[in-house]
Structure 1
Amino acid sequence: MDRSLSRHLRRLTLATATACALAASGLLVTEASAGPSTGPVPKAAADHALVGYLHTSFANGSGYTRLSDVPDSWDIIDLAFGEPTSATSGDIRFSLCPRTECPGVESKDEFKAAVKAKQAAGKKVLISIGGQNGQVQLTTTQARDTFVSSVSAIIDEYGLDGLDIDFEGHSLSLNADDTDFKNPKTPSIVNLISAVKTLKSKYGSGFTLTMAPETFFVQLGYQFYGTGKWGGQDPRAGAYLPVIHALRDDLTLLHVQDYNSGPIMGLDNQYHSMGGADFHIAMTDMLLTGFPVAGDTNNVFPALPPEKVAIGMPASTNAGNGHVPTTEVNKSLDCLTKGTNCGSYKTHGTWPGLRGLMTWSINWDRHNSWEFSKNFDGYFG
């Protein structure tokens, strides 16, 4: 679908509309202020957190890394991946990488012991559901209930701390009549929200919930939401927004994947592309400031508190498109947490409480001599 005409028309009005909407909603913040709190922030493992995905069920060119060999730098470890038996079954399965594929893989008992050791050191270990190959569409209440029971079984068997939602591809898509992110109608989205709330209720306040959507499903919602008023747009555009909004009080951390992304329009109504600090600053500013969805000033996605936001980056050039050198990583952090090194993009606030960074992946960071995690440790101390 060619969105160029719609983009051209919207760019003429979004700047004024955004300023008015943010001012009217109280979301426009000063350079020295932080975004508004929208609920209790779960107790953190550390003031600043480093989140990484561990290739647990498969191997690739980065090599297999045992959980016990993951350095203490990592505060939240997402086990990649739990995947469904079929796209619509809701039945999530997880197993360790086969020994034929990963000669150094632990036994199940060794892995469970490593989980306990990480937790004893104050770390969180989560099961990540989805990934590039794990399409999950909870189109029925039966699939919803199966999702809850199967995810619970994984958490209980391995003694995990919670859940990471990494739905990609066609997992989330909005029905044509689903136009308000605050009141979703699409069954796959309504059922996902219900399933996660059930899990949170089952495990209580200590349940760690993170999400790793792609920019297409979040920040693109500033311009496009679902099929649009006149139809024809990609129904996946902005489709994570209702999930994030409904679960914002339950959410521990949102770390959007600022990689493998096309150009995305920021709050300055300019397109921002991967490859430098500018992209990370603009994309994160949108989350910490809030934005009108599809340009509708009466339908503003509220800002998330900085303690619930981390920036998602590839650990190396091998890990994904959009990798930036550590100098650009630090520029992003300087701008968002200190108001320095900002370049041409002017943020709508300064957020010292920004939680930290997420990366794909721990394995790729190891393959790259731990450059990403060592830089994180050096920056935050």
Structure 2
Amino acid sequence: MPEHALAGYLHSSFANGSGYTRLADVPDSWDIIDLAFGEPTSPTSGDIRFELCPQAECPGVESEEEFKAAVAQKQAQGKKVQLSIGGQNGQVRLTTEEARDTFVSSVSSIIDRYGLDGLDIDFEGNSLSLDEGDTDFKNPTTPVIVNLISAVKSLKAKYGEDFTLTMAPETFFVQLGYQRYGPGTSQGDPRAGAYLPVLHALRDDLTLLHVQDYNSGPIMGLDDQYHQMGGADFHIAMTDMLLTGFPVGGDTGNVFPALPPEKVAIGLPASTEAGNGHTPPAEVNKALDCLTKGGDCGGYEPHGSWPALRGLMAWSVNWDLFHQGEFAKNFDGYFGG
């Protein structure tokens, strides 16, 4: 990837109000293109399927051969094209080893079919949760967690070092873990912080983490204050947690270690229609100034500055094009793309 990268989701298997965009027509600004979405035949089957949007739903959809050619074309330009699994509707719970093995084989089949670079894990809703008594993120025991880690490691081993792995968890599954982890508290939700064991186990295999800084409630930062989405402050506080590390569930003896800045990007909605918590470009740039240059941090004081912060992720390429590419143009302008 380039020193600073722009990742975005492409609505490949469905249509919505943003309109359908052919893969070949994705602007060159986008360095990582996540094909949304691979979804399971049932939540616990592990059997992931991906098909292009039906022509009746997306009149401009390309043929499969045209799509494969577009994948190769993007890769020739240095782009990464990945399968994104999950999304809002794709609940994936690998409760058994059989489901784990089916996940590996079905995902491999899709990657091979289209010649893709890797995998994006966008598990939301009830896909990941922690069983009672599973309190150590470094040594998880919950089957859906253990089996997901095992499945991804199998895919990485199968495809080698060039296999890209990105993740797009919601803040509830990551930063909320600072306050509480799993069901073991008075306010226990078994999903709280449930991505932390996955991130920790796969941190060496991880290409990029871009937490969704949107569709989120208020989240407590390392200053022990609640931060609201939609402005620079939220992105500064949430990203600082990833780059600094934090005690899990308030236990100072159990710290989630900092991630390297090269493996972290900020996830945002590309437009007001794309999700709650849209951040105007000027506020995005304030967050980047603070995190990469140590300036214009407002009321939150981060624990360092990280010029190597990888970049931004957007939901989605389609919604950005709906607004004449404002998000990508701002990224290019900021990083000199």
Give the TM-score normalised by structure 2. 0.99
Conserved? CA contact 2:242–2:259, under 8 Å: yes
Q: Which of 150, 171, 183 is 2:139 aligned to?
A: 183
Deviant stretches of 4+, over 4 Å: none
1:258-269 equivalences under 5 Å are 258-269=213-224
- 1:113 and 2:41 aligned: no
Q: In the alignment, which residue of structure 2 is the partner of 1:240? A: 195
TM-score normalised by structure 1 residue count: 0.88
Specify the alignment match of 2:52 in structure 1: 96
| Kept after mapping to 1: 8 A contact 2:11/2:35 | yes
Matched residue count: 336
Structure 2 residue aligned with 1:212? 168
Structure 2 Cα separation of the partners of residues 108 and 192 of structure 1? 29
What CA deviation, in whole Å up to 9, does each residue of 1:202-241 have, x standing for no partner? Answer: 0000000000000000000000100125x55110000000
* CA-to-aligned-CA distance 1:97-138 (integer Å, 9 cap, x gap): 000000000000000000000000000000000000000000
Match in the other structure for 2:287: 332
Query: Quick one: distance in 2 between partners of 1:352 and 1:288?
Result: 12
Q: Separation in 2 of the partners of 1:275 and 1:146? A: 39
Percent sequence identity over aligned pairs: 81
Q: Mapping of 1:360-371 within 5 angstroms?
A: 360-371=315-326
* Cα drift, residue 324 of structure 1: 1.0
Q: Of the candidates 1, 11, 17, which is equivalent to residue 61 of structure 1?
A: 17
**Alignment of structure 1 residues 222-233 onto 2, 5 Å:** 222-229=178-185, 233=188
Identify the match of residue 157 of structure 1 among 93, 96, 113.
Answer: 113
1:1-381 to 2 correspondence within 5 Å? 45-229=1-185, 233-381=188-336
1:111 partner amino acid: F
Q: Which runs of 5 or more structure 1 residues have no equivalent in the other structure? A: 1-44
Q: State the distance in 1 between where 2:25 and 2:128 align.
A: 34
Q: Which one-letter code corresponds to 1:49 in the other structure?
A: A
What's the CA shift string for 1:164-191, capped at 9, x where partnerless?
A: 0000000000001100000000000000
CA deviation string 1:303-341 (max 9, x = no partner): 000000000000000000000110000001000000011
Task: Give the Cα–Cα distance (whole angstroms) in 2 for the partners of residues 227 and 60 of structure 1.
Answer: 36
Equivalent residues of 2:173, 2:192 under 8 A apart = yes
| Letter of the structure 1 residue corresponding to residue 124 of structure 2 | E
Equivalent position SS for 2:39: strand
Give the whole-Å Cα distance in 1 for the aligned partners of 2:187 and 2:174.
19
Q: Distance in 1 between matches of 2:14 and 2:293?
A: 39
TM-superposed deviation, 1:364? 0.0
Task: Give how far 1:149 is off.
Answer: 0.1
Long gaps (5+) in structure 2? none
Q: Which has the larger radius of gyration?
A: 1
Give the C-alpha shift of residue 288 in structure 1. 0.1
DSSP-derived class of the 1:330 partner: helix
Coordinate RMSD, CA, aligned? 0.6
Q: Distance in 2 between matches of 1:167 and 1:340?
A: 34
1:2-46 per-residue CA deviation (whole Å, 9 max, x = no partner) reads xxxxxxxxxxxxxxxxxxxxxxxxxxxxxxxxxxxxxxxxxxx21
Structure with more contact order per residue of length (Cα contacts < 8 Å, sep ≥ 6): 1
2:146 aligns to what SS in structure 1?
helix
CA distance in 1 between partners of 2:105 and 2:159 (Å): 13
Distance 2:187 2:306 in 1: 38
Q: Retained in 1: the 8 A contact 2:209–2:265? A: yes
Aligned-partner residue type, residue 272 of structure 1: H
